[in-house]
Amino acid sequence: MAIKGLMVVAFAAALGVHAEPEAPARCANGEVRFEGHATFEESDRPDTLSKEAVLTIDVSEEVASGEEPKTPIYTHTVPLEKYTPEAEIPYAFCVDLSSVEAKKISLKARVTDPDGEAKVECIGETVVTAGSDSYEADLTLAKVDGSSSTNEPSVADCNFAQLAEDVTGIAVKATVKIGAPKALPKPTYLVVTLKETDAETGEPEVISLFSGDISAIYEPERPVPAFLCAKVPTTAEEIPKYTLEASVHMGWDGYANPNDEDRTLRKGDLVTRKPIEVPITPEQHDYSVNITVKPYNPSA
Is 300 among the domain residues? no
Q: Residues 45, 174: one domain?
A: no
CATH of the domain at 275: 2.60.40
**Comparing C-alpha atoms, which of 106, 32, 99, 97 is closest to residue 62?**
106
Q: Domains in the chain: how many in total?
A: 2
Q: Residues 283, 166: one domain?
A: yes
Q: Which domain holds residue 255?
A: 3-10+147-295
Q: Residues 167, 103: one domain?
A: no
Is 79 among the domain residues? yes
Q: Residues 199, 211: one domain?
A: yes
Find the mean pLDDT for residues 34-43: 85
State pLDDT tens for residues 196-220: 997 778 889 999 888 888 887 788 8
Residue type, 25: A
Task: Tell me whether strands 167-178 and 54-61 are parallel, antiparallel or unpaired.
Answer: unpaired
Higher per-residue pLDDT: 269 or 137: 269
Phi, psi dihedral angles at 158 (to 5 degrees): -80, -15
Whole-model pTM?
0.53
- Count of CB atoms within 10 A of residue 16's CB? 12
pLDDT at 258: 55
- Is-cis flag, bond preceding 187, omega within 30? yes
Query: How many whole angstroms separate alpha carbon 269 and alpha carbon 217?
Result: 18
Is 58 among the domain residues? yes
The DSSP letter of residue 19 is S
Residue 243 and residue 228 in contact, taking contact as beta carbons nearer than 8 Å: no
Q: Residues 53, 137: one domain?
A: yes
Q: Residues 282, 186: one domain?
A: yes
pLDDT at 247 over 90: yes
Is 44 among the domain residues? yes
Is 19 among the domain residues? no
Is 24 among the domain residues? no
Is 95 among the domain residues? yes
